[in-house]
Chains A and B, each alone.
Chain A
């Protein structure tokens, strides 16, 4: 009895705290359609700044689709339609230029996708160079090193910066992708199941990296693994069949899920 009350209190506190924080990303009645298929159904979500926010749910629940709406990558596919609004730091992304959105909101993908025909250095430098974010070669060198250090990759590639990126292992390639995004100094990084193709050791490295990254920016990570959500995130949203079932602080939701669906998912009886 007392315990339950205490739980409720801490939950309320957490939600209150969440509401007070500045929101990195906010969705308002977000609906997404693939042709006639209604994928995301009226999701209202507020993601606080400088936290790791996990979106979890079984495969096919629309997690990745929703994530791709946050940096307007979804519109590359002509058959998608987005209704409602997404705000990044209070500003509607649909009133911004998609390029501006993507510079603020970076992304790391499920399959490591460094450009295989470019060197490790060029992969990190590309966005900076093409977006004209650096003045000279010296500054570029500095930021590339800084980004590779942030991605905990510098020591491994220091001596082969000009070798092709395709020569790296899967885990290294994924960290290179993180370096590539970090170099652009985004305020939010979206990660779409970044470790689902990696071995446990590489996964651990990436997860440690995520923990480091949240000191400076917001990480929104999509995962189908509740265990990963529990390990890395501060807040978690549970998505099921395109609907937001439950959202809250990770500790609260894992210890005391409010919805029956969430409980079933967390205990492995579903998904």
Chain B
């Protein structure tokens, strides 16, 4: 028996409807998250005003104050983590792309993939063991190191991919000019892959700016002091949210919503340009 055209068209329609329903149910939670954060966060930001961004935390049970130390902390941690992680990560990506068939190159690629999926809390534990315990204190350095380790595989993998996607004719062209391998990579190929590499860097930064787990045992958190030194504890927005929600005070829960909204805005501010720039990536 052959299906009549009508039956087949009906099946197709059913199939499309099925896909649409499943798609909506997949993205719905995302919109729900964004909506509830905005609905709960906007009133807090309006009530707290400018102070919410620059001030320090209010005492339990009274008022809002501000989450300035956490914002400053997130900024410091992200910048420090980038300083530590990005150069190493980009060089690792270059190595993996340049020596894809060597034993170390292949091992690097595999390990990067593992690192990307590695539970970040274990990274935090590791850094606690090698930095926090010997130093005897939570610190900005420890938090940044942990974030750097989380960030590296993303940046390295994107760098590797971006370099591999360069059509071979440019590589050959550069070598044919009598350039050394170092100059071929750093003066020609990096330039060609810059958009892909930048995307990786921004994704890495967006990723760590929102991380909590690697900071739990390393950064320590700070709510009243903006910055006391690299060897002192610092705050971070995700860490602050985690700590506030555990407190039995309603004003702290409100602050947590406000902080969540700010975190979401920061994340979108990093992420949207990535999406837009990705569209441009053409070779």
- Number of chain A interface residues as a range: 20 to 34
**Do the beta carbons of A184 and B172 come within 8 Å of each other?**
no
- Closest chain A CB from B111 CB (angstroms): 22
For the complex, what is the distance from the CA of A177 to the CA of B183, rounded to whole Å? 18
- B179 nearest CB neighbor, chain A only: A130
Q: Given the complex, which residues of B lie within 8 Å of A106, measured CB to CB? A: 176-177
Choose, from B116-124, B188-196, B270-278, the stretch at the interface: B188-196
- Closest chain A CB from B185 CB (angstroms): 12
Taking CB atoms and an 8 Å cut-off, the chain B residues in 159-209 that contact chain A are 167, 169-180, 183, 187-188, 191-192, 194
- Closest chain B CB from A67 CB (angstroms): 11
For the complex, what is the distance from the CA of A268 to the CA of B85, rounded to whole Å? 61
**Do the beta carbons of B188 and A73 come within 8 Å of each other?**
no
For the complex, what is the distance from the CA of A103 to the CA of B179, rounded to whole Å? 9
- A118 nearest CB neighbor, chain B only: B191
Q: Is B283 an interface residue (CB 8 A)?
A: yes
**Do the beta carbons of A113 and B169 come within 8 Å of each other?**
yes
**Do the beta carbons of B172 and A99 come within 8 Å of each other?**
no
**Do the beta carbons of A116 and B187 come within 8 Å of each other?**
no
For the complex, what is the distance from the CA of A99 to the CA of B171, rounded to whole Å? 14
CB < 8 Å: which of A102, A109, A126 contacts B169? Answer: A109
- Closest chain A CB from B98 CB (angstroms): 11
**Do the beta carbons of A109 and B179 come within 8 Å of each other?**
no
For the complex, what is the distance from the CA of A107 to the CA of B169, rounded to whole Å? 12
- Closest chain B CB from A106 CB (angstroms): 7
**Do the beta carbons of A111 and B169 come within 8 Å of each other?**
yes
CB < 8 Å: which of B172, B178, B188, B191 contacts A109? Answer: B172
The verdict on A131 contacting B179 (CB below 8 Å), with A115-B191, A118-B191 known, is yes
CB < 8 Å: which of B167, B172, B187, B194 contacts A73? Answer: B172
Q: Which residues of A contact B (CB under 8 A)?
A: 71, 73, 76, 78, 99-103, 106-107, 109, 111, 113-118, 126-127, 130-131, 177, 180-181, 184
Question: 20 A-B contacts, Cβ less than 8 Å apart?
Answer: A73-B176, A99-B178, A100-B178, A102-B175, A102-B178, A107-B172, A109-B172, A113-B169, A113-B170, A113-B172, A113-B173, A115-B173, A115-B192, A116-B192, A116-B283, A117-B191, A127-B178, A127-B179, A130-B177, A180-B177
